[in-house]
């Protein structure tokens, strides 16, 4: 065998088993599913629909219970060095999202956040019927979770610590807070899209198993960055639950920021992933 033949055989003997770069974007192993219908009345007759809503309620209830109690513990201590600190609060939020997404992903998709539900709805991953039901159940779960925390803490101590409600902190403007919520939610929802991308799941079997980890880690990192600005919401249900139970003017003055910011951030993430990353509107359907 001559040298040229050696090179030819050697170059093809150990070919790449997994396509890299643009080659990985081949559609041979995956077919884009049709978008979810805008209205799907048949869902209302399905037990799985209500089971998913209950799962969202319980998950958001547990999320508020653990995270707001962590915030209360931090604020109640006279020695901040002896508490979990801001890093611990961020871990509480990120860790609970990791655990709860893992537990509920197979039932409801593990949204636990109206902004995530909104972003996925814009991408036509679920119907408007289901999206609205999820948001209602998430908000109810958040209210109940914050209410249980108030019961544990007692009214006086709960009020003294602002009930864990989101507010614009001193030294920052409303514009700063709105921008922080938009960017923070963009990070979260973009991570959700990337971690749950069905096309990636079709190629890489490990992706769905790891999905809760990057989502929880994104929540952790965003909290580290923006707790000093707004206490970090990136979740309208979390802000609504704490505001309703705290129910002081301070919690309501800037409450709109914690709805507008997350919804705008979620919409931008949906547009970026669906149009720029996946280019779905430009693909022809069979």
In order of their start, the domains of the chain are 42-282 (1.20.1080.10)
Q: In the prediction, which pLDDT does 198 show?
A: 74
Structure confidence at residue 204 (pLDDT): 58
Quote the percentage of the chain above a pLDDT of 70.
Answer: 81
pLDDT at position 81 is: 63
What is the mean pLDDT of the segment spanning 208-225? Answer: 90
Per-residue pLDDT tens over the stretch 232-278: 999 999 999 999 999 999 889 999 999 999 999 999 999 999 899 87
- Residue 285: φ, ψ to 5°: -100, 140
**Top-ranked range on mean pLDDT: pick from 25-34, 196-205, 254-263:** 254-263
Instruction: Look at residue 22 and tell me whether its pLDDT is greater than 90.
Output: no
Mean pLDDT of the chain: 85
Return the minimum-mean-pLDDT range out of 90-104, 112-126, 160-174. 160-174
* 40-54, 81-95, 176-190, range with the lowest pLDDT: 81-95
What's the pLDDT score for residue 161? 81
CA dihedral 63→189→107→52, nearest 10 degrees, is 70
Average pLDDT on 97-113 reads 94
pLDDT value at residue 30: 64
Whether the pLDDT of residue 82 is over 70: the answer is: no
Please tell me the predicted confidence (pLDDT) of residue 279: 73
Report pLDDT digits (tens) over 131-152.
Answer: 999 999 999 999 999 999 999 8
* Cβ neighbours, 10 Å, residue 225: 14
Whether 84 shows a pLDDT value over 80: the answer reads no
Q: Is the pLDDT of residue 48 over 80?
A: yes
What pLDDT does residue 23 have?
38
**% pLDDT > 90, the chain:** 61
Residue 1 has pLDDT above 60, yes or no: no
Q: Would you state the pLDDT for residue 211?
A: 85
Q: If you average pLDDT over residues 175-180, what whole number do you get? A: 97
Task: Return phi, psi of residue 14, to 5°.
Answer: -125, 70
Question: The tokens of 282 are what?
Answer: 């430009």
Token pair for 37: 């219908």
């Amino acid at each position: 065998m001559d040298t040229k033949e050696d090179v030819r055989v050697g170059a093809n003997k150990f070919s790449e088993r997994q396509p890299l770069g643009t080659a990985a974007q081949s559609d041979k192993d995956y077919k884009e599913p049709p978008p979810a219908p805008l209205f799907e009345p048949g869902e209302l007759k399905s037990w799985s629909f209500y089971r998913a809503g209950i799962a969202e309620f319980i998950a958001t209830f547990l999320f508020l219970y653990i995270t707001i109690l962590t915030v209360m513990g931090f604020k109640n201590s006279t020695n901040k060095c002896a508490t979990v600190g801001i890093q611990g609060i961020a871990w509480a939020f990120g860790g609970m999202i990791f655990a709860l997404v893992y537990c509920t992903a197979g039932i409801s998709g593990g949204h636990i956040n109206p902004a995530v539900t909104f972003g996925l709805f814009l991408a036509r991953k679920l119907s408007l019927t289901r999206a609205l039901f999820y948001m209602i159940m998430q908000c109810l779960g958040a209210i109940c979770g914050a209410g249980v925390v108030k019961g544990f803490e007692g009214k006086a101590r709960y009020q003294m610590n602002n009930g864990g409600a989101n507010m614009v902190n001193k030294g920052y403007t409303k514009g700063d807070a709105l921008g922080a919520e938009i960017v923070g939610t963009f990070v979260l929802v973009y991570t959700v899209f990337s971690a749950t991308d069905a096309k990636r799941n079709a190629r890489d079997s490990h992706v769905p198993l790891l999905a809760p980890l990057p989502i929880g880690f994104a929540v952790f990192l965003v909290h580290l960055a923006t707790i000093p600005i707004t206490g970090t919401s990136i979740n309208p249900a979390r802000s609504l639950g704490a505001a309703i139970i705290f129910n002081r003017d301070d919690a309501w003055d800037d409450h709109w920021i914690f709805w507008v910011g997350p919804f705008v951030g979620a919409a931008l993430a949906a547009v970026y992933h669906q149009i720029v990353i996946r280019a779905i509107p430009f693909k022809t359907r069979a």
